[in-house]
Amino acid sequence: MKASEQDPHSLDIREILEEIRAALGDLYKDNLNKIILYGSYSRGEERAESDIDIAVVLNESFDLIEEIERIIEVTYDIGLKYGKHLSIRPIYSKEYEDPVSPFLENVRNEGLIL
């Protein structure tokens, strides 16, 4: 289900998520497995100061620092435009399925696929 179909919140969050989805889709193309909104926005518990938590699941393994830098390059201006802090974490698809990670279990359970 798409996060925007959940309409948890304001038009701004839907616009932000659409811009993030487009930017990451352009960046990763076929390497992009899925983009997941998790945290307070996915639960409908966000406040004005809440950051927007996004997991980017990639098909191929990667260097974490390099991918974070690449993600910041294409999403930083989106956060500035809307005055929101974006917390975007790349995750290798094989890592995403890890049954022992409490963090990833949380993302899988509460996350909304964009």
Backbone angles phi, psi at 112, to 5 degrees: -115, 120
DSSP secondary structure code for residue 9 in this structure: S
Q: Is the pLDDT of residue 2 over 80?
A: no
Q: What is the pLDDT of residue 10?
A: 62
Mean pLDDT, all residues of the chain = 90
Q: Can you give the residue ranges of every domain in the chain?
A: 3-113
Element (H, E) at 37: strand 32-38
pLDDT class for 48, splitting at 50, 70, 90? Answer: confident
Residue 98 DSSP code: -
Class of 3-113 per CATH? alpha beta
Give the 3-state secondary structure of residue 55: strand
Confidence of residue 12 (pLDDT cuts 50, 70, 90): confident
Mean pLDDT over 32-41 rounds to 96
